[in-house]
Structures are given as structure tokens and as C-alpha cells.
Amino acid sequence: FQLPPTAPFDEGRIERIVALLPSHWRVAFQFRHRSWHTPEVSALLERLGASLVHGDGEKEPGPVGRGAFIYLRLRRDTYSPQRRAAWVRRIAGFLAGGRDVYAYFKHESLGPLYAQRLETAIRTSFRRPAV
């Protein structure tokens, strides 16, 4: 869910949204009003089993790694090999820690290519430990 920049912090709003959803849904929130960017909001999302969206390339990206899972919106117009390699390292670290990662590239023409390259690099550099 993405809240508009005109929507200030309202703990009850998030609790009401989450309460309306099926319990098995994985929910991520992107807050565009600065009043949401606090450690208390991160703790609230963790308590509710939700996550904070990290928007790479946006003015207010949100911290990476907070919440029940990792949700990335990779929104830059271009991703150099170095920037993709940095994301591969970060994502592999989250996966090694047992976290699920959802990464979405901007929908322009290069998005699918970047996603394929990222997936290939992660698959070749990371192996999830056997259980």
C-alpha cells in the first residue's frame, strides 16, 4: 500500500487496514509523509507482520531491512553493473539471514532485463542453506 504525501501518521489507519486483510497476506507499506519515518512506525509494522517498502531512487526511500520481509522498489532509470552488484550483495545477505525478498524494477523498457540480470546474479552467488 502506498499512502499519499498528504496522509500524516495515524497508527489506527494501519491497524485497520491490516485487520481487514486475510491473515496469510504479506503486506508492505510505503509512507510518503515524513511523520511516518520513525522507529516507532517500523516497530508497529513488525508487530503487525507487515513491512516497509524501500524505494531506491525516491526522495524518501525508507530504511532497508525493516519488517517481516524485504520489499524493494528499484526505481532508478538505469542500474549500472556496479549498482546491480551492490543490490546482489544486499539481497544475498537478506536471503542468508532467512528473509524473503521481493524486488521490483521500474516498469520502463529496461526493467525486465535488469530483473533477469539481478535474478541470475543472485542465483549464481547465493545458495540457501539446506534445512
Task: Give the pLDDT score at 63.
Answer: 61
Residue 56 pLDDT:
85
* pLDDT given at position 67: 77
Residue pair 124/88 in contact by the 8 Å Cβ criterion: no
List of the chain residues with pLDDT < 70: 58-64, 66, 127-131
Give the pLDDT score at 107.
73
Angle (CA) 63 129 69, round 5°: 25
Q: What is the pLDDT of residue 61?
A: 54
Position 51 scores a pLDDT of: 93
Q: Indicate the pTM of the whole model.
A: 0.82
**Side-chain half-sphere exposure of 21, counting CA atoms within 13 A:** 16
What DSSP line would sit under the chain, residue for residue? -EE-TT----HHHHHHHHHHS-TT---EEEE-SGGG-SHHHHHHHHHHT-EEEEEETSSS---TT-BSSEEEEE--S---HHHHHHHHHHHHHHHHTT--EEEEE-SSTTHHHHHHHHHHHHHHH--PPP-
Per domain, the residue ranges of the chain are 2-125
What pLDDT does 57 receive? 76
Write the CATH number of the domain with boundaries 2-125: 3.20.20.410
pLDDT of residue 5: 93
